[in-house]
Structure formats: structure tokens, C-alpha cells
Structure 1
Amino acid sequence: MSLHRPLHDGWTVTAVSSTGRLGPVIAGVPAIVPGCVHTDLLHAGIIDDPYLDDNETRLNWIGHTAWAYETTFTWSDTGDDRADLVCEGLDTVATVVLNGVELGATANMHRSYRFPARHLLREGRNTLKVLFDPPYEYAEKWQAALGDRPGAYTEPYQFIRKMACNFGWDWGPTVVTSGIWAPIGLHAWSAARLAEVRPLVTLDGADGVVEVHITVDRAVEEPLTLTVSVDEITEELLLAAGERQAVVRLTVPDPEKWWPRGHGAQPLYDLTVRLGEEIWTRRIGFRSVRLDRSDDAFTLVVNGKPVFVKGFNWIPDDCFPSRLTRERVAERFSQAAGAGANALRVWGGGRYESDDFYDLADEMGLLIWQDFPFACAAYPEEGPFGREVEAEAREHVSRLARHPSLAIWCGNNENIEGHTDWDWQDGLAGRTWGGGFYYDLLPRVIAELDPTRPYWPGSPYSGAPDLSPNDPAKGTMHIWTVWNTHDYTHYADYTPRFVAEFGFQGPPTYATLRAAVSDDPLTPDSPGVRHHQKAVDGGAKLLRGLGDHLPAPSGFDDWHYFTQVNQARAVAFGVERFRALAPYCMGTLVWQLNDCWPVTSWSAVDGGGRRKPLWYALRRAFADRLVTFQSRRVAMVNDTDETWQGELELVRLTLEGEPLAKERVAVAAPPRGTAWVHLPDAVAKAERPGQQVLSATLDGVRALRFFAEDPALDYPPADLDTSVEAVGSGLRVSVTARTVVRDLAFFPDRLDPLSRVDDQLLSLLPGETAVFHIEGGAPDPEALTRFPVMRCVNERR
């Protein structure tokens, strides 16, 4: 018999002591479990929302305070052999006390814990306490004991096994949490229980193979029967008295293969393991994955087929993980897939994500690149950290091995690059920095527990410890010259094999920013707007990044629109460059999909869950079929299994729409390939660059190239005919251009925060019509077509 009982009710939280930081007196405040101190104090009205204005700056004391969580519960002896207290997530340095007796201690947010508790349980009322030490105190203790280590920030996040970005990042607030962040409860059982089920799923020719590794905990030493089944195939195994481990192998003839989105379907099969009355059921998918490194390539091969990886980096979607529901993850995944992505990289400064996260990735065909949680710092390997890292790695490699979406394990984010290129070595003076994890411990754990998928020591990384880690010609690279120091056209100077990070900033949508910042008026440099920009010199970089591409902003509305447009153009420029390099380049992962709070950042979806203009630009840049200008050539990128052929129409026009030169070229882009056309001089050269534009169209897919940057173009003021009509629950806006119109966009969230639009940043030639659909809220129809809701670069004022 097995009984799981959640212990989520009746909790209180109390501030026990503080390490030199004054905070309010807090005793017996009702607490929500799962949760954390910040969310409990927010719910109780003791603190203001850390996401609003600069409230976070007054909450630093929370991470310097010891906290006690306490509840009572009743218990009756059911006669079970064992009763365990199961803690799925404690953040972070905790002592667990049951009825006045210490059950155990923890120091790792990334682990779960199981404590035998039956001997301490009493009939009737029981008291459970979880005492949390201040995270800063623990981290600073080990920092002093082991010697400091360099990192991207002054916070000591590398000295505690906790979500690093809790300590602040260049897109996130400093909210150092404590609490019971995942479910907690009692598990009563008899005879034996399933302690671990680790399916390794592969293909053997046309057959699917499931090798199920099972570990049991025993209360008795008698023989046990295990039954394993998948797709109506069942194997039964007798586990002899005293045995605790078994491997059951099942072969499924000719199963449907699981594919990444855009390459096929995502069939999933139920895998069931039975031990007595206990039943474990999860879904698996049959596919193979390997990493092709021939000739320094970095190509993921799924089911024998090379896959061009196009997608996003994923950061924690909230600083407080307990608030992240399955529905919210599903919304983000839909946004990623809606933009054309087939992959997400779980970045190493966050955490191992929830079961819901990977289940949804399986269902939606999103390949997952999983970093181990190490980022932007030298990490100590001695003290408690070696055993903690091994324990968390073993737990999560075993937990996640069943997921077909999980394509690759990666040791860390930017730590190898930091050790090699960021002047860390002199400061380290021979102390450990994490290399033993990335080159030894983690690959050993993967080889033992999950040999079905590749491991990569870090990103960026070129394939060997003695190579320059960010070499474009080898392995994976990160490109941060663009944004930090260079114009976005510098992406064209790179010829990489796989770009795992690159990006450009833009502000959040108006509704998201307005809800988080109370500045009146909003300006690019008002206090709240500045506080919600965490990048060093971020505001100045946004303006410098406009360069010659767009006019200098005049006031907040121009700043907001032009910097969003520039973000969209910059990242789309990079994506198109890297896609056109296929198959030499076989991956482009944009930094980043999402935000953890309302902030100006590199995201495509802001902290309010709203799509920024970048998202719409990436939907075009990630499309299965893409036409893109690359220097003096046009590339037709075809990421489908069918040949893309037809006549490429090249037209050079005046900005008034008068054709000056035309060429037609027969093209055929092979399946999952690219066709190239050199631009004939007749269309490639403009006698008056400020007055002309070049159009390239194949099968309805179009690219435009303007011969000069916007401030140098002799634009006619945009002349538009607009109409707005109610359609169903929303509004349809039709726009017909009488002149050229550049980057036409609607921002209905300025009228109603619930309103959204289906497209953005469309450029129209004279005579063309575009239709936009507005859904949600109740925006004023007349205001939709007025400044600042309707915008284009060459608008009339």
C-alpha cells in the first residue's frame, strides 16, 4: 500500500534573526506552500511588489534573514511499514524538524529530499518546522573559507547551489529567496516502493527499444514482482529477496517516431511500471539523437536527419518558481512555437525546470538544450559542492532521461569562456573554477545514467579545453560584440557553426511598462524606466544602437517605437544571416524568449507575457521558407522536406512605386537547403539610393532592401487609407498604402492592456493592403489609427 499526503496547509512564517540587515518584525504570518518568503510577505501586505518601480531595492534584508516555517497536522498510524517526509524543493539552506527532533539538513535548491519520519510521528497532533538559514550568510561563509572566485557580478551566487539569477542579472532583479518552493508531504508505504524509474529510449533500426532501469526501496526482503509495459508489450520480472535494482528491456516493433516540430509528428507512448499496488506511468517518445562533430560541425541529428536548430534561450519565467503554472509554461511554449521555433535552451543561471515544462516540450516538438545550473562565474569544486553537484546531476539526469524533447546536456554557460578569456586565472591563483565538473564529473554521470544523448562541456565551446572557446569555426559560439560595442550589421562578419546566444535589447510593451512603473510622465530616462533597465550602460546602448538606422527619438513615444523596431531589425538580420549559412551553420538560438519580470531586455515576449515587435519579426525570419538579401546575393532558405521552386522576381522601384528594373530567375531550393541568386547589376545598383527600394519575391514570400538607412531616405510622408470594423469578438483594421510605408505597427495595448494584434512591422509598397486583427479588451476603434497607437517610420505628424 502507498499513500501520498500533501502537507500544504496551515503554515506560518517567522523572521528568526538577521545578519546585520534591519527588517520589520514578522511572526506567525500565514504562508502559502509551495511558495517563498517574498510571496508570503507580499500576500500579507508586509512588502510592496518587488516588480514595481524600485521596490526591490528595499527588500535586500530578506536574503540576510533566517526564516522559520511551521505547521501542525494530525496523523493516525495506518500500520504501514514506513512513512517518509518528502520535500520536493527547499530553498535553500534548511533544517527540517519534526516534533522537536531534527530530521535532516539541506543546502541545495536543485535537489529533492526524502527523510524517514515514521519513528517521530505521533498519534494526533504533530508539528513540522523548516528553518532556513540566510542564503547570503551561507554563501559568504564558503566564499571566505574557500577563497573568492571571479564572476560576472559581485554577488556570491557561485557559493550556494541555488538559482543564480535570484542574485540579480542584467535583466533581472535581486530577490534572494527562501522557502518551501515545491510540494512537501508524507509518503506512507509498506513492503517496497519504486525509488527511481529511468527509461532509456532508443531506436534499433525500425524498432523502438526501452531499457527501463528500476531502483526500489525495501521495508522487507521478500521477492518482488515488477511489471513493465508499453504499447501492449509487457515484461514481468521477479526481483529476488534483497535485490534493489533491475533492468527491463522492451522492444516495440516499428513505432511511430517522435520528431522535432517542422520535421514530423510527436507521437507519445505510455510507459507503465507496476510494483505491487504502486503504479508509475509516464510518456515516452521513440527517437534517436546524436551530435555530428565531423569537420568541426555542430549539428544535432534526430532520427538520422540533420536538424537546423532555430529557437530561443529560456530563462526562469518568474523569480518565484512556485508561481509558474503549467498553463503559463504552455502559453510561453505556444509563443515560441508560434514564432517558428523548434528548440529552447534552458540557460545555466536558472534551474532544472518542472515536469510540466518537459512534458509540454514533448507534446509540442520543441527540442530542449539543457544547461546544468552554472553560469558566468568560477565555481568551487571542494567543500560540499562536489557531492552536491553530483547528487543534483544524478537526480535530474534520471528524472529527465525519458523525454524525447531533451536533445543535449551542456555543462555550463560561459564559464569556460570566462576562465580562458575574461582574466580569471590570475585571480584564481590555482583554485578550482568548475572545470572538474564540466570535463569529468558531469560527463561521467551522463555516460552512466543517460548515454542515449550527447553531452557538451559548455557554451561557448570549441570542442577541446585547449581551443579558444568562442571560435566561430568550431562548436558553439556566443556573439555579444553586437549590442555591447558593434552595430548589428556586424553579424554579417561572422561565419559560425552554431550560435547559441546573441541578441539585442528593446523595451517591453507599453502596457507592461506602464503597469510596472509609476513615473509621471514616462520618459526614457525617468527613474522607474531606468530601474527596469539592468544592463550596464543599457539605456545608452539602446540609443547608440539606433546608429544611422533610424531617426533620433523625439520624446518617449519615439524612443519606445524606434528602439523596439531596431531590436526587431537587428535580431532578424542575425537570424537571416545564420540561416542562410546552412548547412555550414546549423543553429541559431536567440537570446532570449522570455522575461522574469517587467524589464527592458533582449526578450521577444516581455515580463507581462506580451509579444514585442521582435516576436513578429522572428516569425518571418524563422519561417520554413525565407527570402533574404545577403550582400550581393539573395538566399532562398527552405526548411521543409519539399523542393521550393519557381521564379524569383526582382524589382527595383522608386519609393513612389514606379518600377525601374525587373529580373526573373528560375530557382529551386532543395529540401532542407538553400538556393542562391547573384543580383544582376540592373536591379542591384540604384542611381539615387535615397529614393529607391529593391523587392525580391518567390511564391509569395518577399524581402525588401532599401538602398539607404531610414534617415537618409527621401521618404514621402506615409499616406494611408484605413478602415476599422468589428469582426466577431475583435476588430479588423484594413490599411491600404498610397505611398511606401515602412514598419507599420499597431499598439492596441496603449488603449486597453488586454488588447493584442496579430501582426507587426509590415512594410507596404504603394497600392498594397494589409489587414490586422485586434483581439481582447475594448480599444477605442477611432484611436486605433491615430498616433501613438498606429506607427510607421515615415508617418505623417
Structure 2
Amino acid sequence: MGEWRDLHDGWVLSAAGGTDDVPAEVAGAEVAATVPGCVHTDLLAAGLIPDPYLDRNEYDLAWIGRMDWRYTTTFDWAPGDDDRVDLVCEGLDTVASIELNGQPVGTTQNMHRSYRFDVASLLREGSNDLVVTFSSALRYAEQMRDKLGNLPGPNSATPEPFNFIRKMACNFGWDWGPVLVTAGIWKPIRLHSWSTARLARVRPLVTVEEGVGRVRVLADIERVEGEDSPLNLVAWLAGARAQIEVAEGALSAELDLEVRDPDLWWPHGHGDQPLYDLEVALIPSVVDGAEEAHEDVWARRIGFRQVELDTAPDAAGAEAGSAFTIRVNGVPVFARGANWIPDDCFPTRVDAGRYRARLQQAKDANIDLLRVWGGGLYEKEEFYQAADELGILVWQDFLFACASYPEESPIGEEVEAEARQNVARLMPHPSLVLWNGNNENIWGWFDWGWQARVGDRTWGKGYYLQVLPEVVAQTDPTRPYWPGSPYSGTFDIHPNADEHGCKHVWDVWNQRDYSGYRDYVPRFVAEFGFQGPPTWATLTRAVHDEPLAPDSPGVLSHQKATEGNDKLARGLAPHFPEPATVEDWHWMTQLNQARALTFGIEHFRSHRGRCMGTVVWQLNDCWPVTSWAAVDGDARRKPLWYALRDVYDSRLLTVQPRENGLEAIFVHEGTADDSSTWATEVVLERRSFAGEVFGHWSTLVEVEAGSTASVRIPADVATPTDPLSELLIVTAGDRRTTWYFGEDKDLAYPDADLDVDVTTHGSETRVRVTTRTLVRDLAVFADRLDPAASVDDMLVTLLPGESHTFRISGLGREVSAEEVGRAPVLRCANDVRATTSG
């Protein structure tokens, strides 16, 4: 069996030219390098640069992306009996040349794929010198642009030509990310010694039908030159074993395994996530299962489930269109999703624990689908392993975003090689349910003025309609492929149509109020979002402006959206008065973000059946920034996260306007332990803010799993006497929702009259709030007490006489009721109006 040896020790980083802007202390330095890692993190660890995430340091470090960099190490080598020794580079970022003992080994130009080089003839007994030199990715992209001809796409927010290099596009800046153009050995680099043959690629095609799970194992085999001896391919799964002889000289083989009545894998909330160990081995002769005889072994965990993308057309009629529904094990799933971006600008800092923590945050917010966005990465194995174990569906974009992409050499060849490699790498994961061709590029072709600028040149269409679907069909035919997001299914219909395919809704954030979400009833919303700043502890760790203000230099440098602060203000204006202080601005914009997404998701979910998914932009951030994220760049949960947890509950109760008046709408997704009919008494009341009941009505409602039901709210209950001091309250079991007849800035909220009691229970601090008045969207900001602290709940509305207990963990000290019970720790919608209106 072959031997692997990591080459992660003893690396030294040095500047290798490329620009005159390099500081003198860096130009001549030899820095101890961490591998896997990158230039930025090595320079930071050596104290040679400030933290790129703080204040305006990003701009002072632009020279790093225009530099060439050299990594060198020396290792000892003793020859063995193996026929081949390969240098395996799992990830080089990005344009690299490799030398071993002064001799060229190879070159690379793609961050998204691995490379393997035969170096047996270059190794020497004793000391060996390995050098990896990285040319500036930014300069390379500019050179390719000049060679192939400029193509539209990058805009004022992301002006660099990221579409001319196969590298994480958001490294070049985005409307939520800094320009930090990285270089380095970002994944493991190893020596692989082997003889006879190895498993070059293993693809398990997993299907389940009529109670039988089947795995077809397709193996590609690489042999040592001149070695044609017969082999055996063996596989083990759930107690089953299969073996097939590989003929002399054959470079591929396949075998089948069956598992009767396998436990099915489901997204969380719909069932469990059983995983099965699959092991595949090459054996040199008819040695039945002898462990010592294995030439090579491949092992993964797989899950049995069926997945389909239902795009069936509707019946003819005025509202006719076509579905966009993900079906798992034959069950249509309403996707309660979020978009995923790289969790750090420096991906090597994202390890298995961090992936797990972030995906656990997603699951805890009732998110059951993450869309891995096309301007980022095919994430590391640990991301998909966590998704498998937690039951989170993964929609994986191919890595094309917001630009037209050349299809000519050498980029075209790199795209196909990258796609084949990553489809094969990720296909064992049951969580992966959809391959998507690109992000917004087909939309750009239609609406962003590209056609006149592109003319008859290539721009990526060939990738999305030919290369990528062929790669998926040939490599992983068990999963659906969709050409783009948004896309209607044909170039004959606008890609962002409501009636077909998946849709992005961005005019709401960019141009108008979030009430505009009600203008759309799409089949599937793959992107929509609203901005809010990071938590206070994250903002003030990253920005040290004196005084701190929404428009102070550091805050603005952490706001990357075009006219982002203007859009925040425009989004506030219909709902809240103008903030008087930076603390009010921070609270109100965070609250407005949560309100906007709650508004949109409730509307879209109320049309469940026609609309079958909402994927908010976005779950996470890659650094401290004002953005659309629910979890900020320091992993703290913003108010939006708590709002998502509520609005993504498997049971949704919402009040929505319809043609015949207000309706209470009930959405019941059904879960593994709650798949029966939701039968409940519904109580509707119209009350004054002081608690007086002006209208009351009740009825019984039954909602089947996977469906919706509605009741019209009687006019005498729905019609207020004083709209600015009354609300509707709808209760169904443990679910409650409210409806207000005006905007916060106009409502006659009472001053919050409440009592706060603080007690300590072990490591937990409990804050019990009892109110004598209506208190809307009550929030406890634990990070204002201690940056390490977090709270279990937020945005709680209490009626007069009600109480709620907030649980704070991570406090490093005792706190008093007086400290907790006032701003900026305790906030609600009531006090915003009071403090800003005088």
C-alpha cells in the first residue's frame, strides 16, 4: 500500500519581486511560513503587517496582491522500494511554478483544483530543496484580459478582472468583502509513494429505489508505466462485499453493491441522517480481502436518498408557468435556505470546528439548505461532512459570478478540469443535492448591457449549457444540474421571471422599500436580502474611529455596497424616524434588516406550493462588515438570525393581505415527528396597545403536512378604531403573530414600562423581563456587557402583564438589573421612537 508524507514543516516565505511598493522590512525578510496558509497570514504572524480586517488597513496592504512570493523548504528523503513518488499539491493559490532541487516540476494556474507531479527522478537521498513561486494573481488576470480581450462584468464595486483567472472571485473585493488578493499553499502538499497501481478517482453512484439502496462504484486506475498485471477491485458497505477482477492493463473498473431497506438520509426536520461507511480497495491479485495486500484504499461516508429537481410545467392558463421544487425521497421540500460565502478571506483559517460551528448556527436557525455561492469556493471536505451530519441540503454553484467569462484557452481547459475534479470529489456527500452553473451571469447577459460589448465573442454560455451539464451527466448523473441562478429554463424567457425557475429579488434593497416583496410570487427565490451592521462588539473591535459614526472613515471602509449607507437610510425612512445617535442607528438598522427579511419570507412562504424555496442573502460574513449576513464576521448572531429562526420554523403563522381582506395563513411543513395534520384552535383579537380587547373571534383550523391553510379575519375584528394604537393578535397553539396598522414612526407606542430581574444559575445569567405595557421586539444585547457573551433569544414582543426570560452565556462577570435593564443593553421598538422623537 502506498505511503503519504506531509510536507508542511520548515517553510520560509520571501518576496520575489513584482512591484516597488513592498515595504523595506518585508523586501529582505525571510518569514517562517505556515503551510497550509497564505502570504497575508504569514506576514501578519511575523508582525510585518497590521491586521487587514481592522480600520482602513486593507487599502494600505494592496501591494501584497501585486507581489510575487516564494515559499521554500528543505526535507530529507530516503529512497524506498516504490516505483513512483508523486508531489501532490491539493491546492495552490494560484499561479505557481514548482522546482525540486533546482529542476522545474510544473506550473499551475487554478486555485480550485489539485495537481499531481511525478518527482521520483528529481528526488535525491538526503537533503532536498522544494520551491514554490507564486506570481501575482492580479497581474496574471490583467495579462489574460489584455490577451483575450476585455469582457463585461466587474463593476465599480469589484473592478478587478477576476473573470480572467480561476481563483476565488471575492478575493478581488465584493459588495461585502475587501480586496485582499491572496497567494500561498492553501491546502495540503504531500509526497505519495506507490507501486503497481493506485485509485486515481472513485465515483460512487448512490441510488435508492423500492427499498433497495444501490451503489455503483466507478474506479479510474493509474498504473506505473509498464505495469499491466491483473488487479482486483473490492468494495465493502454495510456488511456487503463485492469484488471484480481488473483485466491486465485496464485503467477503469466498476462494481455494484446492494443494501436492502437502507435507512434513508433526510434534511433535518424531515428525518434522520444515517451515514454508511463505504470502502474501496485495489488488490494486486486474488488475495481475498488481505489487508496487507491492498495497493490503494479509498473510504468515504455516504447516505441513501433520492433527489430530483421538479421543473414540470403547470396546466395551461393565465398563471401557467413551471415548477422549481427540490424533492428528497419523493417528498417536495420547501427550502428554508441561506446563501453561503467563504467564511474568511483567508480560507485556511476555516477548519473543521469552524465549519461545524457555522453550520450548526444555520441548523439552529431552522435553515435546511445552504447555497454555496459561485464567487467563492468549492469548500473543503469538512464543510460537506458537517452538512451530511447535520442534515443541511447543499446547492453548489460552479464558480462563476456576476461577470462574463472567456471560454478560450487556457481558461476553458482549466474550467473543465476543475469541474470534473470537484464533481467527483463532492459526489459522495448526500447533502449535495443540486449543481448550478453560475450566479447571475445569464441575467447579466439579458439586462446589464453585455450583448453589445461582447458581440460574437464567448462569454460563458458554452460552459453553462454544454460543458458543465456534460460534466455532471458523465461524472455524477445521480444529481440534477441547473444552468444558472436566476434562470427560467430557456433563453426564450427572461431569466428572472416569476413564473419559471429560480429568481433573485434585488430591486427591493437597491431601489425601494421592502414592502415591494409582495409584488412577487416567484417559484423559488434563490437570492434576496437587506443590509444591517455587524454586532456592536464586532464593529468596535474592527473600527476605532473617534467619534464613531455611521459615516466615519472606518465604518465606511467596512461598508462595501455601492451607496450602502444611503440605502440603509432609505430603507429606514418608511418605517422609523431618523436615528439621533450612532447607537440608535445601529439598533434601528439591525432591527429593520430583521423586519425586512421576516416580511419577505412570510410573504413567500404564505404562497407555499407555488413558491417552494427562499434562500436569503446571506448566512455568514468573511470579515467584520456591514452586510446582508445573519451571522457577522466574528461569528456573532445579529438580530436577523433570531428572526430567521422564528420565520423558518416548520410551522408558520402569518397575517397577510389578500384581495378579500386580511387573512391568517398557516404553513405546516411537516417534520419527522410532526407529519400529521396540524389541528388547532385559532384565536383572533384586536387590542389596544394598553391591552383592552376591541374584537375577538375564534375558529378551528386543520393544516395537512406540507401544505397551507387560511382563514379570513372578520371585518369587525380587522377594522381598527384607532389604527395607530391598536394591533391584531393571532394565536394558534404555541404560535403567535401580530399585525400593526401603521409604521413604527407613526404608532403611538407607550414608553416601555417593565421590570428586570437578574439571577445567576451556574454559568448562565437569566434576565427576566416583566412588562406592564406593550413592548415590541424586545432585545438583550449581551455583547454590550461582555464581547464573549451571547443571548438565547431576541425580538420578543410582550403584551401587558407578560414576562420573558432571556438566558445569557459567556459573561465573565456579574451584572445588575440596572445595568441590563437600560439602553444600550436592553432595546425595543418603543424606546427607539421615544429617544429619536424627543
TM interval, short-chain normalised: over 0.9
Shift of 1:383: 2.2
Alignment-mate amino acid for residue 119 of structure 1: S
Paired residue for 1:167? 172
DSSP-derived class of the 1:139 partner:
helix
Give CA deviations for 1:82-117 in whole Å, capped at 9, x if unaligned: 100000000001111001111111000001000001
Pick from 377, 382, 389: which aligns with 2:408?
Answer: 382
SS at match of 2:362: helix
The residue aligned with 2:744 is 710
Residue 498 of structure 1 pairs with residue 524 of structure 2: yes
User: Which of 431, 444, 461 matches 1:435?
Assistant: 461
SS for the counterpart of 1:300 is strand
Any idea what SS the aligned residue of 2:491 has?
coil
C-alpha separation between the residues in 2 aligned to 1:138 and 1:564?
A: 40
Q: Structure 1 residue 54 and structure 2 residue 68: aligned?
A: no
Q: Is the 8 A contact 2:765 2:811 kept in 1?
A: no
Aligned equivalents of 1:20 and 1:306: distance in 2?
A: 58
Shift of 1:49: 0.6
Q: Deviations over 1:117-151 (max 9, x none)?
A: 11100000000000111112211111011110111
Confirm or deny that 1:157 pairs with 2:162. yes
Classify the secondary structure of the residue corresponding to 1:143.
Answer: helix
Instruction: Provide the rounded CA distance (Å) in 2 between the counterparts of 1:599 and 1:263.
Output: 35
Aligned position for 1:720:
754
One-letter amino acid matched to 1:793: A
Q: More deviation in 548-557 or 442-451?
A: 548-557
Partner of 1:89: 91
> What's the counterpart of residue 192 of structure 1?
197
Q: Which amino acid aligns with 1:110?
A: H
- Give the deviation of 1:19 after TM superposition: 4.0
**Which of 240, 244, 249 in structure 2 is aligned with 1:233?**
240
Deviation at 1:481, TM superposition (A): 0.9
Aligned positions of 1:498-577 closer than 5 A: 498-577=524-603
Q: Separation in 1 of the partners of 2:20 and 2:460?
A: 31
Range moving further from structure 2, 237-246 or 774-783? 774-783
* Identity level (%): 55
Residue 681 of structure 1 corresponds to 715
SS of residue matched to 2:74: strand
Q: So what's the TM-score if we normalise by structure 1?
A: 0.99
Structure 2 counterparts to residues 270-281 of structure 1, below 5 A: 270-276=277-283, 277=294, 278-281=296-299
Paired residue for 1:222? Answer: 229
Match of 1:80 in 2: 82
Q: Secondary structure at the match of 1:426?
A: helix
Q: Distance in 1 between matches of 2:232 and 2:184?
A: 39
Do the aligned partners of 1:748 and 1:779 also contact (CA within 8 Å) in 2? no
SS at match of 2:272: coil
Runs (4+) off by over 6 Å: none
Cα deviation code 1:419-460 (max 9, x no counterpart): 111101111122111000000000001110111110000000
Partner AA of 2:513 in structure 1: D
Distance in 1 separating the partners of 2:222 and 2:312: 44
1:680-721 deviations in whole A, cap 9, x for unaligned? 111111021011010001012000111111111111111001
Note the C-alpha offset of 1:548. 2.4
The answer to whether 1:617 aligns with 2:643 is: yes
1:20–1:64 CA contact under 8 A, matched in 2 = no
Equivalent of residue 69 in structure 1, options 68, 71, 90: 71
Which of 692, 700, 709 aligns to 1:658? It is: 692
Q: Is the 8 A contact 1:206 1:253 kept in 2?
A: yes
The answer to whether 1:482 aligns with 2:482 is: no
**Counterpart of 2:302?**
284
Indicate the SS of the match to 2:423: helix
3-state SS of the aligned residue for 1:129? strand
> 3-state DSSP class of the match of 1:391?
helix
Shift of 1:750: 1.1
Q: Is the 8 A contact 1:340 1:619 kept in 2?
A: yes
Q: What are the Cα deviations for residues 546-565 of structure 1, in whole angstroms up to 9, with x where unaligned? A: 12212211111100000000
Confirm or deny that 1:761 pairs with 2:763: no
Query: 2:466 & 2:765 partners in 1: Cα distance?
Result: 58
Structure 2 SS opposite 1:120 = coil
Q: How does 1:408-447 map to 2 (within 5 A)?
A: 408-447=434-473
Matching residue's letter, 2:584: D
Which residue identity does 2:299 align to in structure 1? Answer: T
Cα distance in structure 1, aligned partners of 2:383 and 2:28: 35
| 511-520 or 19-28, larger mean C-alpha shift | 19-28
Which residue of 730, 746, 751 corresponds with 2:785? 751
Q: State which of 132, 135, 148 in structure 2 corresponds to 1:133.
A: 135
Alpha-carbon deviations, 1:376-432, whole Å to 9, x = none? 000000020111000000001111111111000000000000011110111112211
> C-alpha distance in 2, partners of 1:655/1:55?
49
SS of 1:541's partner is: helix
Map Cα deviations across residues 465-496 of structure 1 (whole Å, 9 max, x no partner). Answer: 22100001110000001110110111111110
CA contact (8 A) 1:344 1:368 kept: yes
Q: Which amino acid aligns with 2:747?
A: L
* Aligned mates of 2:488, 2:825 — CA distance in 1: 46
Deviations 1:340-361 (A, max 9, x none): 0110000000010111111111
| Counterpart in the other structure of 2:110 | 108
**The 10-residue stretch of structure 1 (522-531 or 384-393) with the greater mean CA deviation from structure 2:** 522-531
For residues 174-221 of structure 1, what are the alpha-carbon distances to aligned partners after superposition, in whole Å with 9 as ceiling and x for unaligned? Answer: 000111000001011111111111101011221001011111111221
Further displaced range: 151-160 or 470-479: 151-160
Name the counterpart of 1:267: 274
When structure 1 is superposed on structure 2, of 635-644 and 272-281 the one drifting more is 272-281
Match in the other structure for 2:7: 7
In structure 2, what residue type is equivalent to 1:13? Answer: L
- Which of 784, 794, 797 matches 2:830? 794
State the partner residue of 2:287.
none
- Give the partner amino acid of 2:250: E
* Deviation of the 1:7 alpha carbon: 0.3
Matches of 1:711 and 1:414, distance apart in 2? 36
Alignment of 1:312-327 (within 5 A): 312-327=338-353
Letter in 2 for 1:161: R
Q: In the alignment, does 2:735 pair up with 1:701?
A: yes
> What is the CA distance between 1:20 and its match in structure 2?
5.6
Q: Secondary structure at the match of 2:121?
A: helix
Q: Is the 8 A contact 1:23 1:61 kept in 2?
A: no
Q: How far apart, in 2, do the equivalents of 1:30 and 1:262 lie? A: 47
Q: Does 1:578 align with 2:604?
A: yes
Q: Aligned partners of 2:455, 2:330: CA distance in 1, in Å?
A: 46
Using a 3 Å threshold, how does the CA distance of structure 1 residues 152 and 140 change in structure 2: closer, same or farther? Answer: closer
**CA apart distance, 1:22:** 4.2
Alignment correspondent of 2:32: 30
What is the rounded CA distance, in whole Å, between the counterparts of 1:72 and 1:120 in structure 2? Answer: 14
More moved, 472-481 vs 548-557: 548-557
Other structure's SS at 1:711 match: coil
* Counterpart code for 1:766: P
Structure 1: how far apart are the matches of 2:256 and 2:412?
A: 33
Measured in 2, the distance between the counterparts of 1:38 and 1:101 equals 28
Opposite residue 14 of structure 1, the aligned amino acid is S
Q: Give, in whole Å, the separation in 2 of the partners of 1:780 and 1:556.
A: 27
Q: Tell me, which stretches of 5 or more residues in structure 2 are unaligned?
A: 284-293, 314-321
Amino acid at match of 1:112: S
1:99 paired residue among 98, 101, 115 = 101
Contact 1:375/1:414 (<8 A) preserved: yes
Match among 207, 211, 235 for residue 206 of structure 1: 211
Cα offset for 1:779? Answer: 4.9
Output the aligned Cα RMSD.
Answer: 1.0
Aligned counterparts of 2:410 and 2:23: Cα–Cα separation in 1: 30
Among 120, 142, 145, the residue aligned to 1:143: 145
How many correspondences in the alignment? 797
What's the CA shift for 1:780?
A: 4.7
Deviation at 1:26, TM superposition (A): 3.9
SS of the residue 1:794 aligns to? helix
Inter-partner Cα distance in structure 1 for 2:491 and 2:268: 34
SS class of match (1:287): coil
1:472 counterpart = 2:498: yes
